[in-house]
Amino acid sequence: MTTRQLSEPGSDMTPALAIQDGPPVLETRGLGKQFRSVDALQDVNVSLRAGEVTCVVGDNGAGKSVFIKMLCGLIRPSAGQILLDGTATEFTSPRQARAQGIVAVYQDLALAPLMSLWRNFFMGAEPVRGWGIFQRFDVQYAKQAMQSELEKLGVDLGDPDRAAHTLSGGERQGLAIARALYYGARVLILDEPTSALGVRQSGAVLRLIRRVAQRGTAVVLVTPKPQHAFWVGDRFLVFQRGRLIEDRRSETLTLESLSYLMAGGGEVDELETVIANL
């Protein structure tokens, strides 16, 4: 039996226990969503804390993506509440959610391929100096600010003038995550960040995720890979058929039990019975 402790080689893996007991950054109460009278998600009550990596897992169609889309303002809930720092909030757009520190980084990353890294990093939020018609994009500042943010996270992307299309998948994730944190992400939602990556790059991205959490950000990670979730997760939210069926801390799980839950739990048993009786 694999235990979580055995798979933790570095100091990066230590969960920041002190912060976990603090008040939640983001909470949901009775959160639900109906699409044409069909319940896509019902009655979800969770709280996300700074310094924790919360993994959202479950089968296809279980409600994971509806859940994170509601958190980041892409879908409006039809029932329940989202509380930010204990106050009920409504996010009408991803932009508004971002302004309040809730940032989603999608699998399909928002980078313009032929633009340099620093131009991409500041896309839509260009730092300027001067005024009136002399106002200009502060290129020196942009390059330095990007480099220092990347250094803080231990990500080295080389020449800031590189075109974004030359980045590897892992490097793209690194840039996108650094950008999200630079703009003050307190809740960072990552949608399958390792799904297109090889083993080594996945490892680098997972390490980066731990580091982001250690710096005091609440991380929400959606991944279909049990190993990846188990490696970085502090908490696991297991969804099934539009309901949150488990909310477990990592200490209470093994890789096997997590894999079982992620594959659909009880549904797998049913399926096994059916197949056995064929």
Partner 1 sequence: MSLLQMPAFGKQRPWVRTTVLRPELGSLVAAALLFIFFSIASSGAMVEIPTIARVLDTAWPYGIIAVAVGLLMISGEFDLSAGVMVGTAGALLGIMATEWGMNIWLALVLSLGVCLGLGLWNGVLVVWTGLPSFVVTLGTFFGLRGANVALSKYFTGDALIENIDEAAGYDALHAIVASVFGTAPSDFRVSLLWWGAFILIATWILWRTKIGNWIFATGGDREAARAVGVPVNGTKIGLFMLTAGAAWFVGVSNAVRYTSVQAGQGVGAEFFYIIAAVVGGCRMAGGYGSAIGPAIGALIWGIAFVGIPHAGWNSDWRWAFLGVLLLVATLINHIVGERVRTSRSG
Positions that interact with partner 1 (CB under 8 A):
10-12, 94-95, 109-116, 119, 122-126, 128, 135-137, 139, 153-159, 161-163, 165-166, 168-171, 174, 200-201, 203-205, 207-208, 211
Q: How far is the CB of 184 from partner 1 (least distance, A)?
A: 14
Residues 6 or more apart from 146 whose CB is under 8 A from it? 117, 118, 121, 122, 160, 178, 182
CA dist 235 and 267 (Å) reads 22
CA dist 125 and 123 (Å) reads 6
Q: Which is nearer to partner 1, 111 or 232 (CB)?
A: 111
Q: How far is the CB of 204 from partner 1 (least distance, A)?
A: 4
The DSSP output letter for 224 is: S
Q: How far is the CB of 113 from partner 1 (least distance, A)?
A: 5
Q: Which is nearer to partner 1, 62 or 71 (CB)?
A: 71
Q: Which is nearer to partner 1, 86 or 198 (CB)?
A: 198
Nearest to 105 by CA among 97, 117, 113: 97
Q: Which is nearer to partner 1, 190 or 262 (CB)?
A: 190
Q: How far is the CB of 72 from partner 1 (least distance, A)?
A: 11
CA distance to 154, 203, 206, 228, 272, per residue, from 200 (Å): 16, 5, 10, 12, 34
Instruction: Fill in the amino acid letter for 71.
Output: L
Q: Which is nearer to partner 1, 120 or 250 (CB)?
A: 120
Q: How far is the CB of 146 from partner 1 (least distance, A)?
A: 13
